[in-house]
Amino acid sequence: MAASAMAAAALISGCASLGAGSARNIPLAYAPAETAFAFGNLERMPQAYQALNTRWMNTLHPSLLQTLARLQEVLDDSLDDAQARQKSHALLDLLHAKLSQPEGFASIGLDLNNMLAAFYEIHALPVLRLELADPAKFNAFMDEAQAKLGPNLATGEIQGQRYWHFAGAQPRRAADGRAAEDATAQPARVRSVVAVVGKHLVITLDMQREDAPLASLLGLSRPAKSLVDSGAIAAINQQYGYLNGGATGFVDTQRLLARTIGDGQTPTWLSQAVQDQLHTPLDATCRSELQSLAAKAPRLVGGATQLDGQAVRLHALLEMPAELAQDLSALPAPVAGLGTVPGNLVFGGGVHAGAAASFLQKQLSAVKAAPYRCAYLTPLNELALESAEALAFLSSASDWLQGLRVEFSKLDLAAETFSGTLLLASANPSALLGMVQSFVPELAGLNLKSDGVASKWDIELPTDESIWLAMSSSALGAALGEADKDKLSSLLKAPALATPPLLYMEANGSAYVDMLSTLTEDALAEQSTSEWEDLYNYVTWPLTAASIALYKDLDTVKAQWLLTPRGMEMTQEMVVKAQP
């Protein structure tokens, strides 16, 4: 009852801000209420954030054009067919010419900074629906593209609506190699479809099947009850403090699983395809047990809590049942200075190994008491039976290590040199030191005390930097570099976050740019492990280099993963420097 009241209040609030008539025609209003996932905005982005986003897009725009040119180089080398090379040239030349115009994306009818958008599921297929600033310009762009691509980009019509489609995969085959013949598994080519429906650009996949009608995907047949009608997005915004102008969304894991494996009553094209690929078909028992696993994390929600010229703050939550979330919230361990002392480049996290062992013991004991009967889940039964030794080791680890904080005060990727600090959080730092000394006996001569005073370790290093060690009642630490010695001592005395993170990352914008400025295109190429990665790095290098420069605008960037009584929470924030 309370949930229904909240949804109703949120729906009224959301419609009031949009206007009841306009709310019916925003992209999210074409998503069915029972969609498995959806992301989109109920309002346009805040004006202050639009100004910031415009500045960033202007910084990236020249690099995007360079990336298009590099993509053509790669296609010239990889395409053997002369006609294919000619068509790729024609299309990329057209796109380059359009985006080179002063108005940029507006030349093809898109206003990336002031649009309403939605990405959602219908008939187990994804749909991207964007509001166009000028539908006529996008139509003209697609007509030009079709003229250059010929039969590779064809047009079709459904219910009087024109659309473009690209050739897709070959017809699906039955297990005996013959094309499927029944009505719900008819032979079809999967097609990428683009259409301008009213003021909306719609991009989706067309299976050419009766159980996934294109008219529904394009929004020509509206859902009986839409996501906007249900008030689901507005309710999420109200519950978690998300902005209507941000891209709020959710993934319903149980619905998504039902689309994938079926619900035993109404199969989807996807669940049929999955069944065809399985040696042992999924029965009712398997579906029930798989859904019981999905119920442990039934929904992922996310949105923006701040979007303006000062900061961008994003939040996501993997919701969990209260008991499971409460058990997991005991796992993160505090680490001195992590999240409370700023640094140039910091990462770390903490876990109570003993609490983790207890949590796993509880979960695995439940599996032992009621083993899974689904053949695809029997490995979990085996894991539960063979877990004793691993759990014992995990319990013993709780005596010496529960987290770490790593900071790079300087980092030169080209020269492969760095300086900084390392903090190892421990319930018993003396025991941790003793374990380390068993591998490095020379450390005993430092005679470290739990007073946070740093002692120099006289050891020859391939660098001119010196190593300093110190210990407190809650951590063992090391500093590489004379300049970081004093910071090490202060870190050991620093408080931990009130809600310790499972994982944490932080970067100072200017320092991060300085560090990555030493990263060269040649150095990145040397790190490639495959031809595909090498080509990808080559094509995207202009955007990579320009993206690094964006950090000059930022004071700090932070991200953390938390385990709380609500579930697993993820936050990210980018604080913008004050502009002159």
What is the per-residue pLDDT across 511-525, written as a single tens digit (0 to 9) for each? 888 888 878 888 888
pLDDT band at 187 (very low <50, low <70, confident <90, very high): very low
SS3 state at 572 = strand
Half-sphere exposure of 310 (CA within 13 A, CB side): 2
Say how far apart CA 480 and CA 423 lie, in whole Å.
12
Q: What mean pLDDT comes out for the span 459-480?
A: 87
Token pair of 13 as six digits? 């609030």
- The per-residue pLDDT for 378 is 94
How far apart are the two ends of the chain, measured CA to CA in Å? 51
CB atoms within 10 A of CB 499: 14
Closest to 277 in 3D by CA, of 254, 261, 289:
261
CA distance readout (Å), 538 to 96, 487, 546: 18, 39, 14
Say how far apart CA 353 and CA 284 lie, in whole Å.
37
Q: What mean pLDDT comes out for the span 530-555?
A: 92
What is the per-residue pLDDT across 562-576, written as a single tens digit (0 to 9) for each? 999 999 999 999 999
pLDDT at 279 exceeding the cut of 90: no
Token pair of 361 as six digits? 């013991």
- The per-residue pLDDT for 579 is 76
Closest to 338 in 3D by CA, of 561, 528, 555:
561
- The per-residue pLDDT for 414 is 66
In the chain, what's the furthest Cα-to-Cα distance? Answer: 85
Alpha helices in 370-423 (DSSP H): 378-385, 388-397
- The per-residue pLDDT for 188 is 56
Burial class, 471, CB count within 10 angstroms (exposed 0-12 / middle 13-18 / buried 19+): buried
What is the per-residue pLDDT across 143-178, written as a single tens digit (0 to 9) for each? 999 999 888 899 999 999 999 998 644 434 344 433
pLDDT band at 12 (very low <50, low <70, confident <90, very high): very low
Q: What mean pLDDT comes out for the span 529-544?
A: 93
- Tell me the average pLDDT of the chain: 89
pLDDT at 407 exceeding the cut of 70: yes
pLDDT at 80 exceeding the cut of 70: yes
Report CA dihedral (182, 184, 188, 194) to the nearest 10 degrees: 160
* Residue 19 backbone phi and psi in degrees, to 5: 95, 130
Say how far apart CA 462 and CA 240 lie, in whole Å.
51
Interior CA angle at 505 toward 253 and 450, to 5°? 125
Say how far apart CA 556 and CA 313 lie, in whole Å.
12
- The per-residue pLDDT for 441 is 87
Q: What is the pTM of this model?
A: 0.88
Say how far apart CA 202 and CA 219 lie, in whole Å.
9
What is the per-residue pLDDT across 354-396, written as a single tens digit (0 to 9) for each? 999 999 999 999 999 999 999 999 999 999 999 888 888 888 7
Say how far apart CA 366 and CA 248 lie, in whole Å.
36
Q: Is the distance from CB of 341 to CB of 491 less than 8 angstroms?
A: yes
- The per-residue pLDDT for 3 is 44
Per the document, the length of the chain is 580
Task: Give 292-300 contacts, CB < 8 A, sequence gap 24+.
Answer: 293/377, 294/253, 294/254, 294/257, 295/254, 295/321, 296/320, 296/321, 296/324, 297/253, 297/567, 297/568, 298/252, 298/253, 298/254, 299/250, 299/251, 299/252, 299/253, 300/250, 300/251, 300/253
Most confident region among 125-134, 160-169, 416-425 by mean pLDDT = 125-134
What is the per-residue pLDDT across 28-46, written as a single tens digit (0 to 9) for each? 999 999 999 999 999 999 9
- The per-residue pLDDT for 389 is 86
pLDDT at 343 exceeding the cut of 90: yes
Interior CA angle at 452 toward 447 and 454, to 5°? 60
Beta bridge partners of 410: 419
Residue with the larger pLDDT of the pair 389 and 315: 315
Say how far apart CA 295 and CA 371 lie, in whole Å.
17
Q: Is the distance from CB of 197 to CB of 161 less than 8 angstroms?
A: yes
